[in-house]
């Protein structure tokens, strides 16, 4: 499938869910409306697009300038050997998006990580709990507002200065 035909097909399939299409160093980037993330990814997972692998999910904090968090999904199609990047912009004050659990099995941990690091709520996630930090950790470390060196020890440390 050529790039133009692919974009055409995606536009036809997803319709208004796609806010924009861009190209980043040879990778196709789709900008999605946040409320359509789950349905759009579910459609892209099926034929003829066949993006069967959820390669990665992460988030970027643009809260300082734009007041937004940007979710970044990476999909990979084994049959066509191409990658696709999808972005969805969420308000930084109360970021929430529908979960992908049920579509991909690794989504559970990936979303827990993003919740832990950025505080994005994934609605419908069965077990949204901190993954890399621990219960009792306050704040979300990868937010730009979180100080780089602010540790939160779990037990009293000696000569803490």
CB 143 within 8 A of CB 116: no
Q: Does 20 bind other proteins (CB under 8 A)?
A: no
C-beta neighbour count of 48 within 10 angstroms: 12
Residues 6+ apart with CB under 8 A from 2: none
Q: Does 155 bind other proteins (CB under 8 A)?
A: yes
Q: Which of 9, 42, 78, 96 binds other proteins (CB under 8 A)?
A: 78
Q: Does 111 bind other proteins (CB under 8 A)?
A: no
How many chain residues interact with other proteins (CB under 8 A)? 49
Sign of CA dihedral 150, 133, 84, 67: negative
Q: Which residues contribute to the site for other proteins (CB under 8 A)? A: 24-25, 27, 52-56, 58, 60-61, 72, 74, 78, 81, 83, 85, 104-106, 108-110, 117, 127, 129-136, 141-142, 146-155, 157-160
């Amino acid at each position: 499938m050529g790039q133009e035909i692919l974009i055409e097909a995606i536009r036809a399939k997803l319709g208004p869910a796609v806010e924009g299409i861009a190209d980043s160093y040879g990778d196709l980037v789709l900008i999605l409306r946040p409320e359509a993330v789950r349905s759009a990814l579910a459609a892209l997972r099926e034929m003829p697009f066949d993006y069967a692998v959820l390669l990665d999910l992460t988030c970027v904090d643009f809260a300082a300038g734009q007041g937004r968090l940007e979710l970044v999904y990476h999909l990979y199609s084994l049959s066509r050997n191409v990658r696709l990047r999808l972005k969805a912009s969420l308000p930084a004050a109360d970021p929430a998006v529908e979960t992908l659990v049920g579509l991909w099995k690794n989504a559970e941990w990936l979303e827990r990580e993003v919740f832990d690091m950025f505080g994005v709520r994934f609605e419908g996630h069965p077990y949204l709990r901190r993954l890399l930090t621990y219960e009792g950790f306050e704040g979300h470390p990868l937010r730009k507002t979180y100080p780089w060196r602010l540790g939160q020890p779990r037990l009293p440390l000696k000569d803490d200065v």
